[in-house]
Amino acid sequence: MYRCISCDKTWTHPVKKCIFCGGGIQCEIPGTMTVTGFTEVFIHSVNNEKVPYFVLLLEDELGNRYLKKTFENYSIGESFDPHEEKTSSPVFGVIGTGLLGLQICEFLITKGYSTVVKTRDGHTNHKTLSKIDDKLSRNYSPNAVTEILKKISVTTSFSDLSGCDFIIEAAPENIGVKEEIFKALSGICDKKTIFSTNSSSLSIDQLAGVTDRPDRFIGIHFFNPVKRMDLVEVVVGEKTSHETKNRVISELVDMGKKPIVVKDSPGYVVNRLLLPQINEAITLLEEGVATKEDIDNAMKLGLHHPMGPFQLADYIGLDICLSILEVLYHENKTGGKKARRSPLPAIQ
Amino acid sequence: MYIIGAGRTKFGELDASLEGLAYEAVSRAIDDSGVSIRDIEAIYISNFLGGPVNGQLHLNSMMSSLIPGCNIPIVRVETACASGSSAMNQAIIALRKFSNILVLGVEKLSGPSLIPQIDAIAMAENRTIEKENGLIFPAAYALIAQQYFKKYGISHEVLEQISFINHRNANRNPLAHFFQKNVTMDMIRSSRMVSTPLNLFDCSPLSDGAAAIVITDKKKTDRDIKILSSQIATDTISIPERKDLTTFKATKIAAKKAYAEACLTPKKIDLFEVHDCFTIGELIALEDLGLCEHGSACHLVEEGRISIEGDFPVNTDGGLKANGHPIGATGIAQIYEIVTQIRGEADQRQVVDAEYGLAQNIGGIGGTCGITILGCL
């Protein structure tokens, strides 16, 4: 709240000078506030997907009023300390500050989840925050960005992830790197912490095997761009417990996502269908059957895909496409499934 | 200054487009007025969400397409849900320059929408303070209801009665959104919670519809209705900027000026059209308009005094709750109802010997209020 020091007029908008008397302005930061009203909202809207939630009407010692959204029940007359807000929302730990890692962090903090993000070295600490700040600034006012950024902390040490309820690992798509991360976390994190990987194709069972908690290990595969793509593949390994699966699904639904459940298998569903298609598109180009523009148009105009296979491959990144294809190829070779024709169409 | 013509469409989820609704209301108002569309010198359009819902702005030029060759000045006025009374107010001021002015209110909310309607309507609130804290429109009025209940120690029951009375009135209005909908107290009580303490039957619906009136500087026939006053007042857009949520300052200020200009007191007025976008809004309006003391409007409701047969008939057309709330058209539809009542043409819902009527039209959470007083002089 901004108050004129001469005539006592107040504004919620930051003004520099009083338009009534020309007086100077002081900014009043609320200390402890009292709950003077509330409503519990049952219908959802943009950015308020999880219902019900409460909106509190708060008043500080100076009589200034504020609104605050919360998921906790407060009663009239109860005091509200903005620094010690009641919370039952889980805390997330995100490992990796690549494209998806940063997008997951941005998504989580805009949904109000406290998030600890682990980077490899200290130099990237400031860079990580400024990248997220840039993205948030496109959609939120400067004050709101400041509020949202309070939810994130950046660290280089695994030990700062010890209190997280969920870990989402979004490190490079390399089984060795990921195994090292989960080995390190196993000794550090609380027993209840659920471990998850955002891997787009690697084996959940193999990664779960290096941890001390295969029952609380699961795949949570987000899609790029995270805040706009509703789908999340929840990848269930052989030892993943029902409790872990249900907890993850319920939390994703609360965030406004639409999870599907997938058994641990190479490429899961989306990439298992997509990458062979991209591969075949490349083969078509190699054989000179059509130009890459026409192949893209074929899929866009003929099958109503928003992007053609070449456009999409560029968007995903050719390096990532290659690594997923390697996984699918390797599995086919060892599993003896190469070029196997599904019997179902023949039956029908 | 007189109203010489009034016309409206049915309200509800309609097939008609924005243009279709506008054309129908304008045609009816012109037919009713006795003047030709060629005699209209200017048009004021009231519309709230043409941009974010229909993806259509520049509505004044859209209107020009509906009356090809006229090329007259047309202006759109937007003050959220109070756009109707504000357009009316601006048109009255313009009577210094023009003799015949048409005021059109139109809104198309059903069907494809650029952004979800509930988020579009939230644009009437502060985009940071309310929006970022999840205080969507029904939640804002719920907070007002919670504050009112706490201050005066009343329960939700009185709001249920308001909802019931409005639905009963709408059943006497063939153009109402919920005409012929049989609403029982049981349905009202057991409807789903929207935002505590308000449930579904405390909320007005999203309606499509249009209403138009023709105003003029000189009386032409005995059916013409005199405009006794039109006043607008504003208040802060955001809830935390107000000290008391149980009264709307904008209503009190605009009403005080309007009563003074019309030389009338609330007791002299035969019917009231009030802005019940949520039932709590109707309760507060009764007090802010001076029908009773603050905190005692529940007695007016419980004693049956706001029914069509009572001494303070309120929302005889069904109000926003049951007549419908096509936002831009709402304020003009309130005026249409008062004109119809004073002319004695309200049929089943006619208030006996109606001579004076007042319309209260609110924008946002009381951030704008337009008051119009009409009479049969």
- Strands A92-95 and A115-118, bridge-based pairing: parallel
Section B26-42 average pLDDT: 97
Question: What is the pLDDT, as a whole number, of residue B314?
Answer: 98
R_g over Cα of chain B: 19
Residue A201 has pLDDT above 80, yes or no: no
Fold annotation for A92-263: Rossmann fold (3.40.50)
Question: What is the pLDDT, as a whole number, of residue B275?
Answer: 98
Residue A339 has pLDDT above 70, yes or no: no
Domain layout of chain A by residue ranges: 2-84, 92-263, 271-338
Tell me, yes or no, if A200 is annotated catalytic: yes
Question: What is the pLDDT, as a whole number, of residue B44?
Answer: 98
What pLDDT, in 10s, does the model give residues A122-170?
A: 666 677 888 888 888 888 888 888 888 989 999 989 999 998 999 999 9
Chain A CB contacts of B117 below 8 Å: none
**ipTM > 0.85?**
yes
d(CA B276, CA B285) in angstroms, rounded, equals 8
Here the tokens at position A58 are 């708060």
Residue A348 has pLDDT above 80, yes or no: no
Residue written as token pair 């990144």: A317
Residue A344 has pLDDT above 80, yes or no: no
From B143, which residue of chain A is nearest by alpha-carbon distance?
A39
Chain B CB contacts of A46 below 8 Å: 115-116, 119
Whether residue A40 and residue B195 make contact (CB cut-off 8 A), yes or no, is yes
Closest Cβ–Cβ partner in B136, B143, B196 for A45: B136
Question: What is the pLDDT, as a whole number, of residue A334?
Answer: 58
d(CA B74, CA B131) in angstroms, rounded, equals 33
- In chain B, % of residues over pLDDT 70: 100
What top-level class would CATH report for the domain B2-115+207-214?
Answer: alpha beta
Whether residue B239 and residue A46 make contact (CB cut-off 8 A), yes or no, is no
Secondary structure (3-state) at B226: strand
Residue B152 has pLDDT above 90, yes or no: yes
Chain B CB within 8 Å of residue A144 CB? yes
d(CA B181, CA B162) in angstroms, rounded, equals 16
Section B126-152 average pLDDT: 93
Residue B312 has pLDDT above 80, yes or no: yes
Query: Same fold for the domain at A92-263 and the one at A271-338?
Result: no
Q: Say which residue, B370 or A122, is predicted with more confidence.
A: B370
Q: Say which residue, B16 or A324, is predicted with more confidence.
A: B16
Confidence band for B61, pLDDT divided at 50, 70 and 90: very high
Minimal CA separation from A161 to chain B, in Å? 29
Write down the catalytic residue from B81, B277, B298, B376: B81
What pLDDT, in 10s, does the model give residues A43-85?
A: 988 888 888 999 999 999 889 999 999 988 999 999 998 777 6
Confidence band for A99, pLDDT divided at 50, 70 and 90: confident
Tell me if B139 sits within 8 A of B121, measured CB to CB: no
Fold annotation for A271-338: N-(1-d-carboxylethyl)-l-norvaline Dehydrogenase; domain 2 (1.10.1040)
Q: Is the four-CA dihedral A283, A286, A287, A293 of positive or negative sign?
A: positive
d(CA A271, CA A328) in angstroms, rounded, equals 9
Residue A333 has pLDDT above 80, yes or no: no
Question: What is the pLDDT, as a whole number, of residue A346?
Answer: 56
Q: Which of B100, B165, B131 is nearest to B306 (CA)?
A: B165
From A42, which residue of chain B is nearest by alpha-carbon distance?
B194
Chain A CB within 8 Å of residue B232 CB? no
d(CA A73, CA A89) in angstroms, rounded, equals 13
Mean pLDDT of chain A: 89
Under 8 Å CB pairs connecting chains A and B tally to: 93
What pLDDT, in 10s, does the model give residues A123-135?
A: 666 778 888 888 8
Mutation choice for B interface testing from A45, A58, A141 by most B CBs within 10 A: A45
Chain B CB within 8 Å of residue A55 CB? yes
Residue B158 has pLDDT above 90, yes or no: yes
Whether residue A69 and residue B134 make contact (CB cut-off 8 A), yes or no, is yes
pTM: predicted TM-score of the whole model, two decimal places: 0.79
Question: What is the pLDDT, as a whole number, of residue A337?
Answer: 52
Secondary structure (3-state) at B204: coil
**Furthest C-alpha separation in chain B:** 60
What pLDDT, in 10s, does the model give residues B230-285?
A: 999 999 999 999 999 999 999 999 999 999 999 999 999 999 999 999 999 999 99
Cis peptide before A225 (omega within 30 of 0): yes
What pLDDT, in 10s, does the model give residues A16-40?
A: 999 999 999 998 888 789 999 999 9
Q: Which of A58-62, B25-29, B61-65 has the lowest mean pLDDT?
A: A58-62
Section B94-100 average pLDDT: 97
Residue A173 has pLDDT above 70, yes or no: yes
Question: What is the pLDDT, as a whole number, of residue A267?
Answer: 87
Section A228-252 average pLDDT: 94
Residue B27 has pLDDT above 60, yes or no: yes
Section B311-327 average pLDDT: 98
Confidence band for B34, pLDDT divided at 50, 70 and 90: very high
Tell me if B247 sits within 8 A of B288, measured CB to CB: yes
Question: What is the pLDDT, as a whole number, of residue A335?
Answer: 54
Residue type, B258: A
The neighbouring-strand residues paired with A117 are A94, A154
Write down the catalytic residue from B177, B325, B369, B376: B325
Mutation choice for B interface testing from A44, A67, A85, A254 by most B CBs within 10 A: A67
Q: Is the four-CA dihedral B47, B48, B52, B58 of positive or negative sign?
A: positive
Give, in order, the Cα–Cα distances in Å from B8 to each of A164, B115, B318, B325: 60, 27, 15, 13
Residue A338 has pLDDT above 50, yes or no: no
Tell me the backbone φ, ψ of residue B231, rounded to 5 degrees.
Answer: -130, 145
Mean pLDDT of chain B: 97
Confidence band for A324, pLDDT divided at 50, 70 and 90: confident
Q: Which of B206, B209, B194, B154 is nearest to B321 (CA)?
A: B206
* Burial letters B105-120, b for 16+ CB under 10 A, else e: bbbbbbeebeeeebbb
Domain layout of chain B by residue ranges: 2-115+207-214
Confidence band for A237, pLDDT divided at 50, 70 and 90: very high
Question: What is the pLDDT, as a whole number, of residue A105?
Answer: 95
Here the tokens at position A174 are 């390399």
Length of chain B: 377
Tell me if B286 sits within 8 A of B266, measured CB to CB: no
Whether residue B122 and residue A45 make contact (CB cut-off 8 A), yes or no, is yes
Tell me if B5 sits within 8 A of B214, measured CB to CB: yes
What pLDDT, in 10s, does the model give residues B203-236?
A: 999 999 999 999 999 999 999 999 999 999 999 9
Section A82-107 average pLDDT: 86
Tell me, yes or no, if A48 is annotated catalytic: no
